[in-house]
Chains A and B, each alone.
Chain A
Amino acid sequence: GESVGLHLPTLSVQEGDNSIINCAYSNSASDYFIWYKQESGKGPQFIIDIRSNMDKRQGQRVTVLLNKTVKHLSLQIAATQPGDSAVYFCAENTGGFKTIFGAGTRLFVKA
């Protein structure tokens, strides 16, 4: 069935280090994946997306990796900053309109 899960509920990193947030999905039909960032008291905000015909996509300080063989998705944040502290959600879509969110990983950045 449709489900998106995360390996770790919390992640703590030192400022300046790289962060890696992992996500597993179970729906083989999912062909589009998105990472969202949610700060306290705000709605989720789009970070980066990737389609199933790609393995890697880079943005500004962020990289998303997709491994369809093991149904695994990761978000890498380079040179993590205090402003990156938030909850990060991976989400999947099967090409229709419904985006399914995972439970989220809370990222703490230590100064």
Chain B
Amino acid sequence: DAGVTQSPTHLIKTRGQQVTLRCSPKSGHDTVSWYQQALGQGPQFIFQYYEEEERQRGNFPDRFSGHQFPNYSSELNVNALLLGDSALYLCASSLARGWDRGNIQYFGAGTRLSVL
């Protein structure tokens, strides 16, 4: 049973460019959440997707957008990259059913984005 997989593992971009990160959830999971982890910090919630719709969003600008596909996989897009967008981007999957019992989020290994 594959866990959460993310691609690519590393990415280097320049300021102003656009980037797309991809995530495949754990088998059987229907909800995908994205987090940004800056160096030396804890992960920060970007947004969550369920049933192909953005269900919740953290305090991130509109340059950050996402998508969820019918097979539950997800993409994170960041436009007009800034130096401050350099971070580890983590994807987590979970089941919508059971959130009220402290449903576990399973994390992928992340994509490390460097903006030069």
A and B are partners in one complex rather than unrelated chains: no
